[in-house]
Structure 1
Amino acid sequence: MNDELEAGFAGELPHEDYRCGLVALAGRPNVGKSTLLNALIGFRLSIVSPRPQTTRHRILGIANSDAGQIMYVDTPGLHRGAKRAMNRSLNRAVRSAISEVELAVQVIEAGRWTDEDEALYAALAEQKLPRLLVINKVDLSKDKTALLPFVAELGSTHHFDAIHYVSALKRKGLEQLQRDILSRLPVRPPVFGEDEITDRSERFLAAEMVREQLMLRLDQELPYATTVEIEQFNDRPDGVAEIHAVIWVERDGQKAIVIGQGGAQLKAVGSAARRHMERMFERKVFLKLWVKVREGWVDDEAMLKKLGYTD
């Protein structure tokens, strides 16, 4: 990624102190990285659900200001005990991302430090990167002073260049975090235009919006081994984006869950996803969904590569 981005640095600095760089948002599953990314860039880019491992791909989100351009890399949650090929692929994606950035932001949940947090800290330390600690979800702590002993103990055994207390959901503490991040990035011109928010295609975002609705509407019923593939994405002459998507599962029983009685569940997922697409893509969308079974796709390296699960 760095080689591609370096090739994009061109032109003069908007002003002599303008800064630009790549910043990884990393953490164990379900600490709020995607909510934080969306809050930092001011746009709902990364999908969000209560379930761990909602984020399965690296997603670049761009925050522009007069002071500089921050290119945030939202990563999957680093987790231990990754027995299936997809889980191992997600962990490789995290480690690859943190090897390519100028600064790492480790996100944790207020008052909690787990073995997975420790594993990520060790991976960041190996890269010898400047790193910030973001303690998220502080709005859930009734007594904020109770965090002080936790942070003191953590700081006695772990090194961070700075610690920030934030609530990504309530958008608290983000301005100071952004200023601190910018101050640590190199002085250089922007890579992307001021109106760009990501390098991801509409095709990729469409698949993510279908997957988000599956997670929100099925919750614990949704099989972990579920993903979405866009088979067709065409702009018709009438200006409508026609999108055909396949929802992959591993077993027939899982297919029945996704479709629902009389197809009601699948219809609801499609309707909600289409509305989100129309808002994001700013045009009408015709969305057609299918559910297909492929046993063991989560452990099929060729299938994972086809679906975009790469380092």
Structure 2
Amino acid sequence: MHDNFPMSSVPEARSSTARRPALPAVRDTYPMLGLISSAFPYRMPGPRFGVYGSLVMVAPCNMACSYCDVGGYAKDERHYLPGWNEMSLTTIRQFVRDEVSAGRIIYLTGGEPLMFPELVVTLGDEIRQMGGYSVVCTNASLSGRLEQVSPYIDEFSVSLKGNEKLGEAASGLKGKLAFQVPRRNMIALTGLPNTIEIVVVMFAGLAVEDIVDIYRPLFGRAAFVFKEYRHKATVAHEDHTYTSSLIDLPDEATVRPMPREEIRSVYEELCARHPEHAKDFALVLGGGGEQVVVTSTGEGVFKR
């Protein structure tokens, strides 16, 4: 039996989606990478800073990122990432209810969650009804779907693939879909009411000038997380924990991490050039069991 979308709790939903294609019917089961409880703290400055978030991870992705820690570069012909399992909607919804009740933020991620916009709408609406907070983590390449789910979720977290030069190597795609289309869709988010987080993965070859050129339209509108690239593998477990371990970077890899000292230098230069926006910039170093988070108000360590 299929669930119906609970539209009535979001007054603007009908008018904002009336001119868009209808969403698919919600399914009984979904291919998932896992459900992870208390994965890491919210890193954006503000009232939710330090509140732990939990992950709902869908299996498919339309990109094949060379740096993906859940194996996007090894997806199958259906675009499913390795290690997926079919999971009932009932199980997914119960996990979400439990995590929201425990005071955790819900990250709808993967994979690419907008491969299943109807799931995002269903879960986002339920999270909102419970008084929780939802974040959609997306590559922003699926035009039109950001607008479809916007009325039901609180925040978009967007990660572009370096810069235009690095885009194809990082995303595994060719042409405009690698970088130009996601950037266009990212900028269009400024016309939506949602909170915006931009995750900038610090690849070697990404300069301050790139960051300013690419993201200037969102300065003052979005919060930015500048994140160290660590080549790792992450596995979700049935008990809602996860294991993340560093792996060797192949010698032939075309996308490489920026040295940590250079990351700090780029971050500090960006803050110095744009002091009026520095409060919206955060730097995240490390990962796994420990992250160092630097903001305009200081530096702290979060441990899992």
Per the normalisation by structure 1, the TM-score is 0.29
Q: Which protein is bigger by CA-based radius of gyration? A: 1
Which structure has greater helix proportion?
Answer: 1
* TM-score normalised to structure 2 length: 0.29
Q: Using CA pairs under 8 Å that are at least 6 residues apart, name the structure with larger relative contact order, 1 or 2.
A: 1
